[in-house]
Structure 1
């Protein structure tokens, strides 16, 4: 089963009187591996947060097709207080929580989280303090929570920024595998070489829509 299509219909957004997005219209096709590119401050993360329901906006953002599980989301690597006494397993349980905490995690949910950590190469780190991990290791944990449970729509905000080359390869291989399984992927990406390697289609925004189409067409215009 393919993931849903994502439609941005005349989406505009202001922050503090500044126009961040201005009448943005485009469609991410069902099951596409789609990269969103543009300059810093161009509105890419704000657009994704509008999709997630985290930013007030005008216009509409909607999914077309069935979403049988929650969407997965990997945010930009956050600052984290290294003194907070949370293990990797604690962070996974918190971010992946689907029922009241006092009930505890189900056996199947724990198994799913453990499998996701192994899939992203940090399976042996469950008991380690999250704050003690390197930036690349923390990014792998965030990727693991995004695929636990497996989504039909995966949203990535610079998931390979600041991680080592093996980590970059792991993320690209995992994303390609999910795409092959029909997951719709919307990936904010500054690495244009990586976009060339992985993207099926591309949207360029800088407050307004500058380009939307196939990766091949985008390459021919550059």
Structure 2
């Protein structure tokens, strides 16, 4: 997979890749007259792929990060990935996005032609002093035209609609560095809407959101489910996972459970999941 657009920001001596939308191999580029944003009120058909991890292993040096990870994400569902910090959740996402070498098999089974993969990172690290507005950021993420030339007419309407959906329409001219953490997270959610993805990968999108932002995210999650989009969602808020996910996989270097929220989020299974040394798979 190759990134459609990449924003590289300097933060001290560390270069941070802060984006974002990837397309599956062999997919033709979007045409200018394509509609970048799709909203569905009720699910008419499944558009997202089945996602299958089969004995995926990842070792860095002498440290085992992922140990024979196997599970499936069903098409058109919201599938949550939970576990302790350092348990391999983000590393598994990076293998999916082609950013880390691994052993084992990872496959996407699309219902038709290969679609678009959207990625919303946990946070955006960049120089807060950069004179980059919300519109500049959205232009850099969502169009091929250089951001300094302004918004393309083909994407201006969709970008405006996406920002309105996340409650950021009135802050389009604000500098990204002047936004709160929750507001920046809403902008990241907005860029994940353009172009409309069929597979959406979310890395703890609720971590910086306030109560209003959480309501926005939950509404978006309902829209994605209704549109038949496949969602793989890393989340630490187990209460939200219990309410919003269709299925939950517990990962602490290896899969400890894969079940419905009611079956997965029991005290015994959570104790095993968040133990430093998992006792056994459930």
Which TM-score band applies after superposition, normalised by the shorter structure? over 0.9
Would the alpha carbon gap of residues 67 and 126 (structure 1) be closer, same or farther in structure 2, given more than 3 Å must change? farther
Counterpart among 192, 196, 205 of residue 146 in structure 1: 192
Q: Secondary structure at the match of 1:56?
A: coil
Q: Deviations over 1:19-74 (max 9, x none)?
A: 11011011000001110000000000110111111111111222111365421111
Gapped runs of 5+ residues in structure 1?
A: none
With 60-69 and 48-57 compared, the bigger mean Cα shift is at 60-69
What does residue 209 of structure 2 align with?
A: 163
With 61-70 and 44-53 compared, the bigger mean Cα shift is at 61-70
Counterpart among 183, 200, 215 of residue 229 in structure 2: 183
The answer on whether the counterparts of 2:133 and 2:175 sit within 8 Å (CA) in structure 1 is: yes
Q: TM-score, normalised by structure 1?
A: 0.93
User: After the TM superposition, which residues 1-222 of structure 1 pair with which residues of structure 2 at under 5 Å, given as runs?
Assistant: 1-2=45-46, 3-65=48-110, 66=112, 69-97=115-143, 99=144, 101=146, 106-219=152-265, 222=269
Q: Deviations over 1:139-187 (max 9, x none)?
A: 0000000011111111111101022111111101111121112111110
Of the two, which has the highest radius of gyration?
2
Q: TM-score, normalised by structure 2?
A: 0.74
Q: Deviations over 1:70-122 (max 9, x none)?
A: 2111101132211111111111111223x353987532212111111111110
With 62-71 and 76-85 compared, the bigger mean Cα shift is at 62-71
Would the alpha carbon gap of residues 91 and 69 (structure 1) be closer, same or farther in structure 2, given more than 3 Å must change? farther
Would the alpha carbon gap of residues 15 and 96 (structure 1) be closer, same or farther in structure 2, given more than 3 Å must change? farther
With 31-40 and 56-65 compared, the bigger mean Cα shift is at 56-65
Would the alpha carbon gap of residues 104 and 81 (structure 1) be closer, same or farther in structure 2, given more than 3 Å must change? closer
Would the alpha carbon gap of residues 43 and 165 (structure 1) be closer, same or farther in structure 2, given more than 3 Å must change? same
Q: Secondary structure at the match of 2:116?
A: coil
Whole-angstrom distance in 2 between the partners of 1:172 and 1:16: 39
Which structure is higher in RCO with an 8 Å CA cutoff and minimum separation 6? Answer: 1
Q: Deviations over 1:185-208 (max 9, x none)?
A: 110010010111101100001001
The answer on whether the counterparts of 2:206 and 2:214 sit within 8 Å (CA) in structure 1 is: yes
Q: Secondary structure at the match of 1:71?
A: strand
Whole-angstrom distance in 2 between the partners of 1:101 and 1:16: 40
Whole-angstrom distance in 1 between the partners of 2:139 and 2:56: 34
Gapped runs of 5+ residues in structure 2?
A: 1-44, 270-282
